[in-house]
Amino acid sequence: MRRKLGRCGDGPGEFRMIRIIDAFGDSLFVYDQGHGAVVVLDETGHETRRVPLEIVGGRGVTLSHLAVLDDSTLVIATESVDHASVALVDSRTGAFRRSLVEAPLIALRSDGWIRHMAACVEPNGRSPTIVATSEWALEGVGLVSDTGEERFHFLTSLDLPPTLASGGAWVPGPARIDVACGRSLALFRAVTVDPDDFTGNMADIRASSVTLEARAYDGALLMRRSIMDTSSVLRAPMGAFRGDTVFLLAERVRPYPVVSEIVLRPR
């Protein structure tokens, strides 16, 4: 470890509850849920600005994902009780610019309810990639940020835990979805849970099914894997890409966290 950046508190460079981190150039963008703002740190760890987000906080709206599109624009995914969206906001003022996707409690383009929504950005700030879940389906859309034009769109089924596949109890939607952008592909992930282990608390779940799909930025499917997870592997936040190698955190596979390295080889 080179150094620690930030600490608990209310002053410059201090946080109450860190939820999401993204990097752009030499800056680190940290969403602090406790203050309801994005805190930007330079390479030394000093705070350069603190940006309250205009559309987060009202009507129970929470931020689920954040990605830096360019030096003045953030892509944020938000969720509330009755609504989910992905929007562009000004990274200097926090002001809302334009909505990319708006979804009430109906699916993006299919039957069912939107449960979660996430977003990431191709390297070099090219275009955002968005993923949403609709009941037991995983839906992904690649958009051109300037025009909103679709570059790709897919809808794929999720692999269910055995008790659900055999007609057992029903859990309303995946417990977690994520998307991460690598050099030449995006990795989509959905986690469903065994209802026998579902108590409403993700940390208590002992068994789940993880669906992973890697897709090129034209939408071509490069890899699909289903993993029966009995030890919380791949259940933590998505992690980070280095080229087309993704590093994922396994929270509870042992008494201490473990970082898993997965190499995704494009065609």
Domains of the chain: 53-263 (2.120.10)
CB atoms within 10 A of CB 228: 13
pLDDT of res. 206: 55
Q: Would you give per-residue pLDDT tens digits along the chain (267 residues)?
A: 566 777 788 888 788 877 778 888 888 888 888 888 898 988 888 889 999 888 776 666 788 888 888 888 898 888 777 777 888 899 999 999 888 887 765 444 455 556 678 888 888 767 888 877 766 678 888 888 777 788 888 888 777 665 555 555 545 556 678 888 888 888 888 877 665 555 555 545 555 777 888 888 888 898 888 777 655 545 556 666 777 777 665 555 445 555 566 666 655
Nearest C-alpha neighbor of 22 from the set 245, 241, 262: 241
Sheet holding 83-90, edge to edge: 62-70, 73-79, 83-90, 96-104
pLDDT of res. 153: 85
pTM (global) more than 0.85: no
* Residues with Cβ within 8 Å of residue 124, at least 6 apart in sequence: none
The pair of three-digit structure tokens given for residue 227, joined into one six-digit string: 């993993």
pLDDT of res. 163: 58
The pair of three-digit structure tokens given for residue 84, joined into one six-digit string: 């989910």
Please write the tens of the pLDDT for every residue from 119-149: 888 887 678 888 777 666 788 888 887 777 8
Q: How far apart are CA 185 and CA 194, in angstroms?
A: 30
Q: How far apart are CA 200 and CA 33, in angstroms?
A: 21
Q: What are phi and psi of 204, to 5 degrees?
A: -90, -5
Q: Are strands 96-104 and 7-8 parallel, antiparallel or unpaired?
A: unpaired
Q: Are 189 and 264 in contact (CB under 8 A)?
A: no
Q: How far apart are CA 53 and CA 32, in angstroms?
A: 11
Cα angle 239, 19, 30; round to 5: 85
Collapsing DSSP states into helix, strand and coil, what is residue 253? Answer: coil
Collapsing DSSP states into helix, strand and coil, what is residue 197? Answer: helix
pLDDT of res. 253: 46
Query: How far is the first Cα of the chain from the last one, in angstroms, to the nearest whole number?
Result: 35
The pair of three-digit structure tokens given for residue 149, joined into one six-digit string: 């034009």
pLDDT of res. 92: 92
